[in-house]
Structure 1
């Protein structure tokens, strides 16, 4: 007996009893440049919110996958015979994070709420074509359109079309509940947001991570230091492009460079003089040397852009050379518009997005050479959203528009560009009801040419997908066909 006890003690001391070892936790710490203004996708267009919530916490009936294709999601399939009546058949057993099953009544509630002007949805135009919503049973719902809408399914896949329980509406801003692979566990303002695995997720085997922590680190150099010290595992949108060559040579990391829908523009307030004059807007465009902007602000990473339509869009036409840099022509147009000696103007940028400051500095130098003296004013992101995006209180501003298929913004005179063209609005309206691909493509070509002609903004470049992670992290999307950081399939290699 004494020998047996001694043997057991020896085994215990060595830790070799044959109990199954717990699998190591799959945790990920991610850097993002900007803290979301809120977490309610039905209240803000901010890509910083989508980066955390969209596809991770909340999902829609259909989804744009990593290849840019619209695929069934919360709806396992859909059917339409006339492109006006769409019947969605919901997946059975999908549960919200509060445990309640998703039903067709929840879908109707979410869409009805998006259509209600009182809710101040950021993109009410996406739902204007909807005439009626009919719940057939708990898992079947039909959406009837007033007329054909070529983008209806895409609009149902956008970040503002996510599903959530009606009982959680009041907490969407800080504690959103959805059906996604992760649940919001914590938000420490100014520092981090923590997501934890949803054990009841409706896709078998997902997610692969147990915990995701978003760290808010706006400064590219600080993000790089955090990556190299091991404080973060990945920088998703914040490493300066100047660091890419060195990181590509560092065996500890992997660099992902891909395409996005994030068109970086310098907007001109079309309702404020002197930008009410198309000659001035064209002069500003001719005064900009776009390849030099990409070189100076992005160290050559980025694709020069000529209109709103990005290269991931099937109707993309390369208009980058339509209005090339021509300082002499810029000065001539300014003189014709009554500004032979140029003028002074203010450019508002948000330093939380490093590229806006860098781009602004390059542009200010270029425009000074044609007589436009630019004063750069840096404002916080919250102020930018309220003063520029909501109130259009600005002369010039720079920001990246990450939303896919957002040419509709140029058809809205109240959007912060304040661009108002009846001709363009007619072209856009026609494109929305044209389902024939060839005919719709022709309309998109005409829209792009009209935008070049009217120059409501200066399209600068596409901000590339630029992510850096520790070696061994797998499953990230290379291209971003819409502003979402889907982490459902991300894991550490074993």
Structure 2
């Protein structure tokens, strides 16, 4: 079926970044086909997502809908099997130097862009140096050590690093680092390029139609380099705002599968128990996700640590996990996701159990007594419309803070306006959202706490405007440290300091799931799952 891929990854410094000891998430029902089944080619997969995308290119945004759509049309240098074991994609093989500062990728020579132009090393160099390091919300951190990409010939790309970067080798898949065509983007305004909504990729699917606000239709790329793929003829993605409607569409057969927790948690569990459906929890190793709430530290009241501690003591994260996420997750304890072993720890990390009496006392001590009517001050809470959980949880947060004398107004907006309000205009007080934590803390977590990640206009970055030089130093040291024991120590200290300063309140470490009709086969076959191309998916109909 697939043309052969070989790989070479033989340097200890980077094996630490793709540890074979990584734990595989458990699954209820595997979304893979039995070996005896005969694969059927063709057919159309119908699914649904929300919110509507701003772009169709995940190289310039970390938004969830784009992270689903883009990898179907673009490829990355690598893919990842379960346990984050790297495998070839646009790169046939790769080699890491002894000092971990030069990585040589040998590229495929049989790949063409959707417009027929050949894929070359120039595209790789351009993408990483001119796009991912500049415009991608996590790229600035993930590729901070990447100083140059040399292109000795059309099918060799050499990454030159200032320092070793253990996390980087976990961030080269089509969702995190899609390769863009230099001949389309070079010399243009990257963010305004028309190709951002009319993609020209190398991936297994090509854009057939895009009706803004309604749907995206992708069709099979007949010239795809991986022989025998994709198996589908088409993929139709509808944008449906209401989560209950999305669930009803799955049950009625209007859509075949729901990815990325795109229906309410209670519906996931309910439908999974019905005959004719399967639920799969594997395939999310690259996108461990959490719900969390930023405090805008530019707000004079929220700048006081006692106020942030008081708010934390008023919110029962277990209640939100149990009642909003229906147990599909764990209450948040630290900035890291509980699945980010071996770095996650609660030892010595401050905790904020529900305690309204303590919360009230902290607000009194901070100089905000109750006024006539019982309120101390008011705040604006902006929940992200990604899924339904942040909007639903905001009602609980509003009621809890009312009990300690904080009047909260919940402002719901569409996704683009939410991002603009929080990350560009910075007209928020509290922002409640879900975000990818990454397979490594450097990739996903660091952007929320590193002062260098504060850049108005960049979504899902340091929205709190947190600035602690000691935290910066710890994060930067951990990002380049090849001794895993030292990385563990650095991240432990980071978790202790960050939870004391509390610029961000972790709510829930989410457990992701895909739910599909049982005739949908091979939708999850590796660590990337539905965040990959879905070229292997087929329909047994």
Q: 1:58 to 1:65 in 2, by over 3 A?
A: farther
Question: For the structure 1 residues 321 and 208, does the alpha-carbon distance in structure 2 shift closer, same or farther, using more than 3 Å as the test?
Answer: farther
Helix, strand or coil: the match of 2:364?
helix
Q: 1:420 to 1:64 in 2, by over 3 A?
A: farther
The change in CA–CA distance for 1:102 and 1:312 in structure 2 (over 3 A counts) is farther
Aligned partners of 1:483, 1:445: CA distance in 2, in Å?
Answer: 32
1:468 aligned to 509, 515, 528, which one?
A: 515
Q: 2:216 aligns with which of 166, 187, 193?
A: 193
Distance 2:205 2:431 in 1: 35
| Mapping 1:264-413, distance limit 5 Å | 264-319=291-346, 322-341=351-370, 342-351=376-385, 353-404=387-438, 405-409=443-447, 410-412=449-451
SS in 2 for 1:131: strand
Change (3 A) 1:317 1:124: closer
Distance in structure 2 (CA, Å) of the matches to 1:289 and 1:403: 21
Q: Distance in 2 between matches of 1:173 and 1:444?
A: 36
Question: In structure 1, how many angstroms separate the alpha carbons of the residues matched to 2:527 and 2:464?
Answer: 25
Distance (Å, rounded) in 2 between the aligned partners of 1:116 and 1:386: 21
Asked if the contact 1:403/1:482 (under 8 Å) is kept, the reply is: no
Sort the Cα spacing of 1:143 and 1:401 in 2 relative to 1 into closer, same or farther, 3 A. same
Where in structure 2 are there 5+ consecutive unaligned residues?
Answer: 1-39, 186-192, 371-375, 455-461
The alpha carbon displacement at 1:312 in A equals 3.3
The SS at the match of 1:239 is: coil
Corresponding residue for residue 449 of structure 1: 496
Contact preservation (8 Å) 2:217, 2:237: yes
CA RMSD of aligned residues (A): 2.4
Unaligned runs of at least 5 residues, structure 1: 1-22
**What are the Cα deviations for residues 133-166 of structure 1, in whole angstroms up to 9, with x where unaligned?**
2211121121211222232323444745321222
Displacement after TM superposition at 1:121 (Å): 4.3
**Contact 1:352 1:380 survives alignment (8 Å):** no
> What's the secondary structure of 1:417's corresponding residue?
coil
Q: How many residues align?
A: 469
Contact residue 193 and residue 214 of structure 1 kept, 8 A: yes
8 Å Cα contact 2:45/2:234 also seen in 1: yes
Distance 1:200 1:175, change over 3 A: same
Q: 1:69 to 1:309 in 2, by over 3 A?
A: farther
Deviation, structure 1 residue 482 = 8.8
- How far does residue 77 in structure 1 lie from its aligned partner after superposition? 1.6
Q: Following the alignment from structure 1 to structure 2, what is the Cα–Cα distance between the partners of residues 152 and 228? A: 40
Distance 1:115 1:461, change over 3 A: closer
CA distance in 1: counterparts of 2:360 and 2:46, whole angstroms: 50
Query: Aligned partners of 1:214, 1:115: CA distance in 2, in Å?
Result: 26
1:51-62, aligned counterparts within 5 Å? Answer: 51-54=68-71, 56-62=72-78
Deviates more, 1:322-331 or 1:380-389: 322-331
Structure 1 position 425 matched with structure 2 position 504? no
User: Are the aligned partners of 1:164 and 1:178 in contact in 2 as well (CA < 8 Å)?
Assistant: yes
- The Cα of 1:354 is off from its aligned counterpart by 1.0
CA 1:378–1:480 in 2, change beyond 3 Å: closer, same or farther?
Answer: farther
Residue by residue over 1:56-110, the C-alpha shift from the partner in whole angstroms, topping out at 9 and shown as x without a partner, is 1112212344543333321112112211111111123122222222211221222
CA contact (8 A) 2:336 2:437 kept: no
Segment drifting more, 339-348 vs 214-223: 339-348
Pairs within 5 Å for 1:104-253: 104-114=121-131, 120-122=135-137, 123-157=139-173, 159=175, 161-169=177-185, 170-236=193-259, 237-253=261-277
Tell whether 2:70 aligns with 1:41: no
Shift of 1:316: 4.1
Cα distance 1:449–1:157, how it changes in 2: closer, same or farther (>3 A)? farther
The question of whether the paired residues in 2 share the 8 Å contact of 1:150 and 1:431 is answered with: no
- Give 3-state SS (helix, strand or coil) of 1:330's partner: helix
Matched, 1:96 2:113: yes
Question: Does the 8 Å CA contact 2:280/2:513 hold for their aligned counterparts?
Answer: yes
Change (3 A) 1:321 1:253: farther
Task: Tell me which residue corresponds to 2:35.
Answer: none
The answer on whether the counterparts of 2:350 and 2:496 sit within 8 Å (CA) in structure 1 is no
In 2, are the aligned partners of 1:181 and 1:201 still within 8 Å (CA)?
yes
The alpha-carbon deviation at position 269 of structure 1 amounts to 0.5
1:323-352, CA deviations, whole angstroms, 9 ceiling, x for partnerless residues?
A: 222222222222221123342211112345
Decide whether the 8 Å contact of 1:428 with 1:447 is kept in 2. yes
TM-score normalised according to structure 2 size? 0.81
Contact 1:269 1:275 in 2 (8 A): yes
Of residues 470, 484, 495 in structure 2, which corresponds to 1:437? Answer: 484
Question: Kindly tell me: are residues 485 and 159 of structure 1, through their superposed partners in 2, closer, same or farther at Cα, counting changes over 3 Å?
Answer: closer
CA distance in 2, matches of 1:171, 1:311: 40
